């Protein structure tokens, strides 16, 4: 049987066991090639959830104009939704479609920002971490809300952040990306540290809550701006 079929059509029990195994393969140290292109990934749904829409936006990294970055490529890929949303198993629902979008990409980014958690997950394998292993690329998870971990209250100033803990381990950061707005949850996915993750997210932040890569991918994956 095709490995891909095996990998994604798992019962919750098996999916959780696989996450525990895959998490052992994560590299939580920096192993990035010089960054020239950064991709943003997000998934949306249509037809009441029957169709999954994956959006990937590739931006050219330019420290001279950042956070204003030019879009060099963008792809939207649709396919039938294969499984429901189950807290903790999001990657099994979203990654197949995300991979479909990446296959259509002509540019291979050196860094990928994903809408969701990296290792800030019960078994340390949020969608960003899982996707990083599949793509073998550095990934950062930027979630709009918390899934796992404890933290103190974060300051009100833009840039303030507090660590996100799983026991004594720091698994991410709660970042005030913009004043007067709920903070975002940043966590490394694969081949990157939390410190480097925060540095890149901050560099890509332009007066908005989300960094440019995922902000633009969100817009593409969402239903309003980009219509059918």
Contacting DNA (CB under 7 A), which of 4, 32, 223, 225? 223
Contacting DNA (CB under 7 A), which of 40, 45, 137, 176? 45
Single out the segment in contact with DNA by CB under 7 A; choices: 22-30, 70-78, 139-147, 168-176.
139-147
- Asked if residue 169 belongs to a known ligand binding site, the reply is no
146 counts as binding DNA under rule CB under 7 A: yes
44 counts as binding DNA under rule CB under 7 A: yes
Single out the segment in contact with DNA by CB under 7 A; choices: 26-34, 41-49, 151-159, 194-202.
41-49
49 counts as binding DNA under rule CB under 7 A: yes
Sheet order of strands, 169-175 included: 70-80, 51-60, 37-46, 111-115, 139-143, 184-190, 169-175, 161-166
Q: How far is the CB of 34 from DNA (least distance, A)?
A: 28
Please report, as residue ranges, which positions from 80 to 99 form the binding site for DNA (by CB under 7 A): 85, 87-91
Residue 107 CB neighbours (<10 A) = 11
- Residue entry with tokens 């990446």: 102
Q: Binding mask 181-220 vs DNA (x if CB under 7 A, - otherwise)?
A: ----------------------------------------
222 counts as binding DNA under rule CB under 7 A: yes
Q: Tell me the site size for DNA, rule CB under 7 A.
A: 30
Contacting DNA (CB under 7 A), which of 39, 69, 96, 115? 115
Pick the closer one to DNA by CB: 40 or 126.
126
Interacting residues toward DNA by CB under 7 A:
42-46, 48-49, 85, 87-91, 115-117, 121, 126-128, 141, 143-147, 180, 221-223
């Amino acid at each position: 049987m095709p490995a891909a079929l095996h990998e994604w059509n798992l019962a919750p029990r098996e999916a959780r066991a696989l996450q525990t195994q895959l998490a052992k393969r994560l590299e939580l140290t920096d192993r990035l090639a010089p960054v020239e292109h950064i991709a943003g990934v997000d998934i949306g749904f249509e037809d009441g959830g029957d169709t999954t829409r994956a959006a990937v936006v590739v931006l050219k990294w330019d420290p001279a104009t950042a956070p204003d970055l030019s879009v060099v490529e963008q792809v939207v890929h649709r396919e039938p939704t294969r499984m429901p949303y189950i807290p903790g198993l999001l990657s099994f629902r979203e990654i197949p479609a995300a991979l479909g979008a990446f296959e259509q990409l002509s540019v291979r980014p050196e860094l990928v920002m994903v809408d969701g958690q990296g290792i800030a997950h019960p078994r340390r394998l949020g969608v960003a971490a899982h996707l990083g292993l599949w793509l073998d690329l550095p990934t950062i998870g930027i979630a709009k809300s918390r899934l796992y971990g404890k933290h103190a209250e974060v300051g009100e100033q833009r840039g303030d952040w507090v660590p996100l803990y799983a026991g004594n381990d720091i698994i991410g950061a709660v970042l005030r990306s913009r004043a007067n707005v709920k903070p975002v949850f940043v966590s490394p996915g694969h081949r990157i540290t939390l410190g480097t993750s925060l540095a890149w997210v901050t560099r890509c932040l332009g007066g908005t809550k989300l960094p440019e890569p995922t902000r633009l991918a969100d817009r593409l994956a969402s239903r309003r701006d980009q219509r059918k």
